[in-house]
Amino acid sequence: MSIMKICQVTCFYDKSRMVLDHISAEFEAGKIYAILGPSGCGKTTLLSLLGGLDSPMGGQVLFQEEDIEKKGLAWHRKYNAAFIFQNYNLIDYMTPAENVALTSKLPPLPILERLGITKEEARRNILKLSGGQQQRVAIARALASDAGVILADEPTGNLDEDTALEIADILKECAHQMNKCVIVATHANELAAQADVVLKLRKGKLIRVP
């Protein structure tokens, strides 16, 4: 059963260029989805709509069969969908532990340790960590939120090949072992190869790649 759905979603750039043309799709928990497509094709826009960062110009975004606008987009972002960004988007005056604590009242150290961040690293300033470590913290923050859907926008875009593979493994683990629905927008074919379902966004249409 799908956890998220988009129905006939439409979106324009600059009120004239249609980037999402009446697209529909369903996303299930426990699976990792990869959305592929060239730059500017609307991958980030689609993730923004799924995550409630923006509203579609037409159509609906449903979470567990309910329109996400019903309870409010902030509610959706807080309880249903969590983001992982290419540039990590962590608050720079906080430690990794404090960044994770932003989304959860549970102690942040267990989840950070599970993602390979030591106790000592968890208490450093976030800017003193490497890119891979920062992305692990961002993933920890997403997981700590208890959201059913994790939306990752180019999560390995700023990382070297080895670290990118490690992050891909973590995301796969999130989907398969933690039963999250992980939707990844990426250019990287290596990451797409780890996905259970690959979707291609081209000329405003979303096509499932067999």
Partner 1 sequence: MGFIKRAGLYCFRQRLKTMILFLVLMLIAVCMLTAIAIRDAANETTADMRTAIGGKIILEIDTEGHMGSAQEYEWGTASVYNGDKNTQEIVDSIQKVDGVTGYNVEEAAGYYGAGVNFKYLPTPYGLSYTPYGESSSYTVTLSSEKCKAFLSGKYNLVDGRHITPDDEYACLISKELADYNQLAVGDKAQMYSLDSDSVAEFTIVGIFDGTKGASKEAYTASDIPGNLGYIDYASLRDIFKDMFDEDFYQYLTIFVEDPAGVKNVYDKISALPELQGKTLKLTIDTDEYDDVSSPLESLRQLVRTAIVIVSVVSALILTLLLTIWIRGRKKEIGILLSIGTGKANVLLQMFTETFAVAMLSFAAAIPFGNLTAKKAGAYLASQAAEGAASLHVQMDAVYLVHFYLIGILLITVSVVASAWTVLCLKPKDILTKMS
Q: Tell whether residue 43 is a contact of partner 1 (CB under 8 A).
A: no
Judged by CB under 8 A, does residue 5 bind partner 1? no
Which residue lies nearer to partner 1 by CB, 12 or 79? 79
Q: Does 83 help bind partner 1 (rule: CB under 8 A)?
A: yes
- 44 contacts partner 1 (rule: CB under 8 A): yes
Instruction: Based on the shown chain and the rule CB under 8 A, indicate whether residue 165 belongs to the binding site for partner 1.
Output: no
Q: Which residues contact 84 (CB under 8 A, 6 or more apart)?
A: 135, 138, 139, 142, 150, 151, 152, 153, 155
Is 53 an interacting residue with respect to partner 1 (CB under 8 A)? Answer: yes
- Spell out the residues 6+ positions from residue 154 whose beta carbon is closer than 8 angstroms to its own: 85, 86, 185, 186, 187
The reply on whether position 87 binds partner 1 by CB under 8 A is: yes
Residue 90 makes contact with partner 1 by CB under 8 A: yes
- Helix residue ranges per DSSP H, the chain: 43-51, 68-71, 73-79, 96-101, 109-114, 119-122, 131-144, 161-176, 189-193
Interface contacts to partner 1, rule CB under 8 A: 44, 48, 51, 53-54, 74-79, 82-83, 85-87, 89-94, 98, 101-103, 141, 145
